[in-house]
Amino acid sequence: MFDRDLSAVYRQMLRSRLFEEAVKLLWEEGKISGEMHLGIGEEAIAAGVIAHLRDGDAMALDHRCTPPLVVRGVDLVLMLREFMGKGDGLCRGMGGHMHMFSPQHLAASSGIVGSSGPLATGFAMAAQYRNNNCLSLAFFGDGACNQGMLMESFNLAVAWELPVLFVCKDNAWAITTQSSHVTGGNILERARSFGMDSQEVDGTDIEAVYTSAGNAVDRIRNGRGPSFLRAFCPRMQGHYLGDPLRRANMMELTIPLTKAFTTQPGAPVAERSGSLGMLLTLVGKATVEKQLTRNDPITRARNKLKAQKIDISAIDKEVEKEIKQALESALLAE
């Protein structure tokens, strides 16, 4: 089944990637103001999970909502206009990229960390009352797993056997803090402690995501309650475009940080030493992560297709044309 669907799922991944690269271009040109959180590196998670949704299924999204919205079929021009703050955008220019809503797709996002949990639980309650065999989907990051409202959502979803799939996109970072430094225990075991079916998957492997998500969705539609999927993925553009950790160079920072440590007054030496070590460690880890291009889900999907001797040149050209036309249309409306 997956061999037949791989080309279609790859197409959705590429649409998401090229669309967000176009968004990045607009942001760099100053046509989009404020912060911009991209989901580059999350394409396999979005495409692999959403491939199993039907009409009537709902999506509750976080501040990196672009990939799921693209994959679900939301109008690209309307999204670009929204990002640019225009009155003819998807949300009349009032939502920006973090607060996107598409009623016809039953999709909503929020910049409030962890809020996709309660929203998806509400969507699932509606589906349960309607008895329409639909489900809801919640996307959130690993940092959101420390939010109380998400834990409360897990609890209610299990207690009431709601049809909801919770998907944690684990990139190991909570803004500029490594999640391991602020998260006790294991996220997967935390989800399982509620009595919820919970699995882990390599979020850069589209085949693995597609299979795991499919199993979870089948379980939910068969009335066996909620499921939790933890998908590991890279944060290829940092927390937001222009992220200083992403731009940081280890050698460029080491000298001024060390000089400040030895010449500037302030906290006791031991305390400053610990802070300096922590900062250099963060920059070092971010630098290494930046170089791990082998974890690019697009590259991995392309390699799978090539191994199956599937020609993707036509797909690439069609998607490139679609994104180019959407970008031109959004700019022509100026």
Report which residue type is found at 176.
Answer: T
- For residues 235-252, give the mean pLDDT: 66
**Tokens for 86?**
């225009």
The mean pLDDT of the chain is 88
- Grouping H, G, I as helix, E, B as strand and the rest as coil, residue 110 is coil
DSSP assignment of 142-194, as one string?
GGGGG-HHHHHHHHHHHHTT--EEEEEEE-SEETTEEGGGT--S-HHHHHHTT
Q: What is the DSSP string of 113-138?
A: TTTHHHHHHHHHHHHHHHT-S--EEE
pLDDT at 240: 72
pLDDT at 236 over 90: no
Q: Which uninterrupted H or E stretch holds 202?
A: strand 197-202
**φ, ψ for residue 283, nearest 5 deg:** -65, -40
Tokens of 148: 């109380």
* Residue 294: predicted pLDDT: 62
The pLDDT of 263-285, averaged and rounded, is 56
Q: Phi and psi of 228, rounded to 5°?
A: -125, 130
**Per-residue pLDDT at 1 exceeds 50:** no
Encode pLDDT of 96-146 as tens digits. Answer: 999 999 999 999 999 999 999 999 999 999 999 999 999 999 999 999 999
* pLDDT single digits (tens) 217-227: 999 999 999 99
* Whether pLDDT at 262 is above 80: no
Most confident of 2-11, 181-190, 239-248, 265-274: 181-190
Give pLDDT, residue 226: 98
Q: How confident is the model at residue 19 (pLDDT cuts 50, 70, 90)?
A: very high
When pLDDT is averaged across residues 253-268 and rounded to a whole number, the result is 60
